[in-house]
Amino acid sequence: MFFKSKIKKIVHVEGMSCSHCVDHVKSALESVDGISSVKVDLNSKTAVVKCLQEINNSDIEAAVKDAGYEVTSIEEG
C-alpha cells in the first residue's frame, strides 16, 4: 500500500559544509516519525521534507539540532 505525502516543508539549515553534513542532516530528518522523504541540498542549504502527516516544526528543529546543525527557518511548500 502506498501513502502519498501530503505536506511539504522546506527547512533552511546552517552549518553544512560537505557531503557528510548532508548525509548527517538527511539521516536525522528521516528519523522523525511521519517524514516520508528527505532531499538535502548543500548549495542552497535546504532540506525538502515530505510528510505523511502534520509534523511539528519543533520536532524537525530538534532532530537537526541533535545532529549538530541549526534550523534558521521552515517554510510550508
In tens, the pLDDT along 10-61 reads: 999 999 999 999 999 999 999 999 999 999 999 999 999 999 889 999 999 9
Under the banding of pLDDT at 50, 70 and 90, the label for residue 1 is very low
DSSP labels, 24-55 = HHHHHHHTSTTEEEEEEETTTTEEEEEESS--
Higher pLDDT, 47 or 6: 47
User: What is the helix (H) or strand (E) element at residue 73, kind and residue range?
Assistant: strand 70-76
Reported confidence tier of residue 75, pLDDT bands at 50, 70, 90: very high
Whole-model pTM: value is 0.90
Domains and CATH numbers, the chain: 7-76 (3.30.70.100)
